[in-house]
């Protein structure tokens, strides 16, 4: 099992949107996916409840339950856990980062978000965890060119010495309309530009998680037995790089 932590100390960056859309991408790629919903607002949980048919499992969690839940999920045959963290909680950010194989730091290309991202970097840098920035809610291109604010944001983020995902998420209505139905654009509008950019983001994230390609391990137990096995992990202790090489462009639309 691999784990992604979706992180930002500032609220309103779109962490839950990124979490749910990556989860949907992985689910549609055939992986068994669980979202650990650590955000008290419970938006990922609401998203899953709105969904028709199968999809990623969502488990509301508090800080002290993360590591036991991760242990139990792996034994239940989960391939990918995505941790949707809450904002303004350094303790949650640290715990999620320690549990993660990859941290995705979500940031919008606005002045207020770019100023606030330093606090997230300050929390993560000492942990030396694999990480990448994901630019979210970026304005769409005009005449095949990115707005100056997007280019400047990517340049600033690259200055932290961390990777920048080579595809960002644009500000598109379909992200909102799909979310209210418990879906992702890859399901609601599979031929859309939003679906294409999500596909590229998932390709990037999965290549960071499984550099040699994904190989499913033999399933140890049924995912439906998750709750029955949770008590077994209650007393499990916490388990224990920083990636450079930012790419100063976003994928073209």
In the chain, where are the structural domains located? 2-205
pLDDT for 72-105, tens place per residue? Answer: 999 999 999 999 998 888 999 999 999 999 999 9
pLDDT for 23-35, tens place per residue? Answer: 999 999 999 999 9
The percent of residues in the chain predicted with pLDDT above 90, rounded, is 74
Q: Tell me what the mean pLDDT of segment 173-190 comes to.
A: 97
Q: Tell me what the mean pLDDT of segment 48-65 comes to.
A: 91
pLDDT band per the 50, 70, 90 thresholds, residue 52: confident
Rounded to whole angstroms, how far apart are CA atoms 116 and 62?
24
Q: Tell me what the mean pLDDT of segment 48-52 comes to.
A: 92
pLDDT for 218-233, tens place per residue? Answer: 544 444 444 444 444 4
- Residue 62's pLDDT is 86
SS3 call for 102: strand
Taking CA atoms, 129 is separated from 95, 233, 246, in Å, by 12, 24, 15
pLDDT of residue 20 exceeding 70? yes
Give the burial class of 20: count Cβ atoms within 10 A of its Cβ; 0-12 exposed, 13-18 middle, 19 or more buried.
buried
- Residue 218's pLDDT is 55
pLDDT for 115-157, tens place per residue? Answer: 999 999 999 999 999 999 999 999 998 888 889 999 999 999 9
Give the burial class of 130: count Cβ atoms within 10 A of its Cβ; 0-12 exposed, 13-18 middle, 19 or more buried.
middle
The answer to whether the beta carbons of residues 82 and 17 sit under 8 Å apart is no
pLDDT band per the 50, 70, 90 thresholds, residue 242: very low
Domain range 2-205, CATH class:
alpha beta
- Residue 224's pLDDT is 45
- Residue 63's pLDDT is 82
Q: What is the pTM of this model?
A: 0.85
Taking CA atoms, 1 is separated from 17, 95, 102, 193, in Å, by 22, 17, 12, 30
Buried b vs exposed e over 182-216: b needs ≥16 C-beta within 10 Å? bbbbbbbbeeeebbbbbbebbebbbebbeeeeeee
The answer to whether the beta carbons of residues 147 and 139 sit under 8 Å apart is yes
pLDDT of residue 209 exceeding 90? yes
């Amino acid at each position: 099992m691999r784990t992604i932590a979706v992180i930002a100390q500032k609220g309103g960056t779109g962490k839950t949107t990124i979490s749910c859309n990556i989860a949907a991408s992985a689910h549609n790629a055939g992986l068994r996916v669980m979202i650990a919903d650590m955000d008290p607002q419970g938006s990922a949980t609401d998203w899953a409840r709105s969904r028709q048919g199968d999809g990623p499992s969502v488990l509301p969690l508090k800080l002290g339950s993360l590591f036991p839940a991760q242990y139990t999920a792996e034994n239940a045959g989960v391939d990918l856990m995505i941790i949707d963290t809450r904002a303004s909680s350094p303790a949650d950010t640290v715990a999620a980062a320690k549990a993660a194989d990859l941290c995705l730091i979500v940031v919008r290309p606005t002045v207020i978000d770019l100023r606030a991202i330093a606090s997230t970097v300050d929390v993560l840098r000492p942990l030396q965890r694999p990480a990448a920035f994901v630019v979210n809610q970026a304005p769409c291109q005009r005449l095949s060119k990115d707005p100056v604010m997007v280019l400047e944001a990517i340049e600033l983020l690259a200055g932290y010495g961390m990777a920048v995902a080579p595809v960002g998420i644009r500000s598109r209505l379909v992200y909102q309309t799909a979310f209210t139905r418990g879906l992702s654009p890859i399901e609601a509008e599979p031929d859309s530009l939003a679906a294409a950019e999500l596909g590229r983001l998932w390709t990037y994230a999965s290549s960071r998680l499984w550099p040699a390609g994904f190989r499913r391990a033999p399933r140890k137990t049924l995912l439906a037995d998750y709750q029955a096995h949770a008590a077994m992990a209650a007393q499990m202790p916490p388990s224990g790089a920083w990636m450079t090489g930012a790419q100063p462009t976003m994928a073209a639309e």
